[in-house]
Chain A
Amino acid sequence: MRLTCPLCGARDRREFTYYGAEDYLNRPAPDAPPQAWDDYLHNRDNPAGVTRDLWYHDMGCSSWLLVTRNTVTHEILAVEAVADRKGGAA
């Protein structure tokens, strides 16, 4: 499996560390109810098919990346830098 980092180009999967689902980008407000924090930290859609999750390019440019990929075929559909998203990382 290879991920195409927007800064570094196509690199081997070994260069990246997987963190978890896209949910980690939607951090609740500090005073959000416990249910919101439970959803953020623990509960997942966990789809068999297209998903979006966070990877860290630790052996490269140290960017956080939002990867769109298929969990059944391991096909990578898109890779974008979290920092480039509107509003940036929360």
Chain B
Amino acid sequence: MRYSGLRVITEGLFGNKGWKPAWRDPAPKAEYDAIIIGGGGHGLSTAYYLAKNHGMTNIAVLEKGYLGSGNIGRNTTIVRANYFLPGNSEFYSHSMKLWEGLELDLNYNVMHSQRGLINLFHSDGQRDAFVRRGNSMINQGDDAILLDREGVREMLPYLDFEQTRFPIYGGLYHPRGGTARHDAVAWGYARGADRRGVDLIQNCEVTGIDIEGGRVTGVQTTRGAIKAKKVGMVVAGRSSQVAAMAGMRLPIESHILQAFVTEGLKPVIDHVVSFGMGHFYISQSDKGGLVFGGDLDFYASYASRGNLPMVEHVMEAGMTLMPMIGRAKVLRSWGGIMDMSPDGSPIIDKTHIDGLFVDCGWNYGGFKAVPASGFCMAHLMATGESHPVAARFTLNRFATGHILDEEGTGSQHNLH
């Protein structure tokens, strides 16, 4: 069923009785041409682009819970293309272009809102670093504008400009940055894949990966064995467990990242704003809640909840930057399991097992990557070759020293 304005009006006139489920609920077949493990943003977009760009429609996504039950429905929804390093820069730029055509492509409203992103800086050194980053974004063909203090004051008059501890020197403004509705992205890709014939199989946990003579032959699941000559592992925070089923040990450590949302308020924060001193970032959802977060809890964890020190840190940073939010009540806080890589950049690559592919290491920045990750993973699974914009996301780059350490913090999983 195609969605359109006319459809909404017609359905409204006839009691909304004509709507159909957005995707089927098929039983798994005995064999597919390809299987994607994981029904998060990346798994669903991989399936969508396999079907759309490569005509592979006899494929399945296997999800252990329900579609979108992982980080795709837990993140703070920031979409940006402000990366610095060659390797990351072209990839996120590609993703941004896909975002900009996504709603038409999917025939689905993902509420992509290019409201602008402002990264504040608080010292001369930070300004220099942001100037370099801005220039590299412009070289990549994306947009960046350096704001001085008055420029920031005009756009964000509510910040605390008077403080002496962390004075605001200015900001790097990325007008095309913004947010999107996280679970709508999962639903849009799920519906798009389903409409092209992809089987989305929920409550189907992969428990084993079958390998014969160095080739993948299928998977074992809680809904029986399923054969396939190509298998993609796209399970974000659970990547180490799934890769272990194939005897692999990944350069990944899983960490917890928390986020917070307040009660709904009238529009007050029009952009995405990040604080350059102590990690804090904030935006306002379309429902009116202030959505904000900060750093990892910093220790390996699979609990979908965090600890108090980071809650305090995030609240303190927020109050330092914009004291007005102290009046808002926090409604909920939660955590998600992040697949942290040693250099903070992702992996989209083949493995040493024929037909087995891996897409992981999204750290806390994998939401904006959902379109390009699926695009490139599909390209890799269909053609056997890396897509040019993801060519540096190799699995062996840590061994060879070709790391992509965007923050320059060194080879430690929790420092990115």
Contacts and interface: CB of A to CB of B under 8 A. Distances in A.
A20 interface: yes
Interface in A32-47: 34-35, 38-39, 41-47
A27 interface: no
B77 interface: no
Contacts, number: 71
Interface of B: 238, 240-241, 244, 249-254, 298-303, 307, 309, 342, 398-399, 411-414
A44 B307 contact: no
Nearest to B341: A42
Given A13-B307, A21-B300, A74-B307, A46 B399 contact: no
A31 B303 CA distance: 39
A1 B399 contact: no
Contacts of B254: 46, 48, 71
16 contacts: A1-B307, A14-B309, A18-B298, A18-B299, A18-B414, A42-B251, A44-B250, A45-B240, A45-B244, A46-B252, A46-B253, A48-B241, A51-B300, A71-B300, A71-B301, A72-B303
Interface residues of A, number: 28
Interface of A: 1, 12-14, 17-21, 34-35, 38-39, 41-48, 51, 53, 55, 71-74
Given A39-B249, A44-B250, 10 more contacts: A20-B412, A21-B253, A41-B398, A43-B250, A44-B240, A44-B252, A46-B250, A47-B240, A48-B302, A71-B303
A74 B250 CA distance: 23
B310 to A, nearest CB: 10
B335 to A, nearest CB: 11
B173 to A, nearest CB: 34
Nearest to B403: A42
A36 B409 CA distance: 22
